[in-house]
Structure 1
Amino acid sequence: MRSWARKSLFVLISVLTFGLVTPTQLLNAVNAEGPAERDVLEVPSSKSGFTQVHEYREESEFDREEFVREMITSAKLQSYQKFGSKIKPVIENEFRDVILPKIEMAIAETAALFPENDLKNLAITEFPGAGVSEKIFHIKNRLTGKDILRFHVRRDNPPQAGYWFNFHYHTYHDEFQAHHDLGSIYWDKNTPPNWMS
């Protein structure tokens, strides 16, 4: 474990255990057990005779599935934020049943392409586009600032067919040129309100 991470862990354990475990005791417990992927430290409980078990992970551990779940949760929240209070109630169910699973699949497939070190640097943009903007959210590399995926929704108005919301995404593989279709949701014959309204 790196020295700064070890020091941070010592402070964290000391604070969480109200000083019952000192850094020296923690270091002795870790060294006595030898290197392991997951170390367990037993701490006497101040309220009862039972023992509390605190687990901590090595810095190198990274849960790819947990990362993908967090990205999907953020994607869902960004989408609902974009829809706003006027559009969300009308399309929410169909979006959840038809479009969201395809967004989840696209995120999972993209995450599988990246090595762990690069995957740690991916993040979802913080704000969807308002008004008539197509942007729902982008997934970008925090270090380079470059987009990896761009998830958009476009308003389509085919002749005499009413308004549709076309969900699609673009990838950096083709410099965001191709539309990868996620599906369309019918709105109405009337013009939809602006996003986030």
Structure 2
Amino acid sequence: MNNWVRKTLFVLVSVLTFGLVTPTQLMDHIKAENFTDLDTFESPSTENAYGQLNNFEEESEFNRDKFIEDLMKQAEIQSYQKFGTKIKPVIENEFKEIILPNIESALEDMAIQFPEEDLKNLTITEQPGAGHSEKIFNIKNRGTDKDVLRFHVRRDNPPQEGYWFNFHYHTYHDDFQNHHELGAIYWAKNTPPKWMS
């Protein structure tokens, strides 16, 4: 699918379903069905989208665990997108074992700090930073359009030790000044490729 078509579809699905179906889930479904162009894809009717919305509104209880689980899926996708095809295969296993559980703990700690009505407004950003940027993803409040947490990875090169990827996050509590460590993964003696390459 053309890039602009994919982006348009993502925005359309997000708006019509108010987040009940993520664009990533839709794209996975489309790929699973082997759709190759828009002619073979039937867009959901407005009535169906609103029907789903009405069902959601009828659910009176917000599920924090499901909220964290959804954020974790998106965080993993964003991380792998940032790593790109050159870095991901090298660090993927350690990332899953060391870093992801710590990201989950940070998200759970964040979820405890917010009342349910505020928590519902939190969302993950869509685009990690490329090149030498540290940004993996941010958690922001849609209502205020302000970041709550910023998840980063920094390249460290201690003398005689090679390159390390230092995963950490920042929080709005201290105006994003302090580093909250998530862990580090060793790369090699040689310089790592740029992010998203």
TM-score, with structure 2 as normaliser: 0.71
Pairing 1:10-49 to 2, within 5 Å after superposition: none
- Describe the superposition over 1:73-101 as per-residue Cα deviations: whole angstroms up to 9, x where unpaired: 10011001100000000000000000100
CA distance in 1 between counterparts of 2:80 and 2:156 reads 19
User: Paired residue for 2:137?
Assistant: 137
User: Paired residue for 2:71?
Assistant: 71
- Describe the superposition over 1:4-27 as per-residue Cα deviations: whole angstroms up to 9, x where unpaired: xxxxxxx65xx89xxxxxxxxxxx
User: Paired residue for 2:58?
Assistant: 58
Q: Which runs of 5+ in 1 are unaligned?
A: 1-10, 17-54
- Superposition deviation, residue 138 in structure 1: 0.2
1:116 partner letter: E
CA distance in 2 between counterparts of 1:148 and 1:129 reads 17
2:126 partner letter: E
1:85 aligns with 2:56: no
User: Paired residue for 1:172?
Assistant: 172
- Superposition deviation, residue 61 in structure 1: 2.4
CA distance in 2 between counterparts of 1:70 and 1:111 reads 13
CA distance in 1 between counterparts of 2:106 and 2:195 reads 23
- Superposition deviation, residue 63 in structure 1: 1.3
TM-score, with structure 1 as normaliser: 0.71
User: Paired residue for 1:187?
Assistant: 187
User: Paired residue for 2:156?
Assistant: 156
Q: Which runs of 5+ in 2 are unaligned?
A: 1-46
1:184 partner letter: A
Greater percentage in strand: 1
After TM superposition, which residue ranges in structure 1, 4 or more long, deviate above 6 angstroms? none
CA distance in 1 between counterparts of 2:179 and 2:148 reads 14
Greater percentage in helix: 2
CA distance in 2 between counterparts of 1:166 and 1:110 reads 21
User: Paired residue for 2:103?
Assistant: 103
CA distance in 1 between counterparts of 2:160 and 2:123 reads 40
Q: Percent identity?
A: 69
User: Paired residue for 1:19?
Assistant: none
SS of the equivalent of 1:82 reads helix
User: Paired residue for 1:44?
Assistant: none
1:126 aligns with 2:126: yes
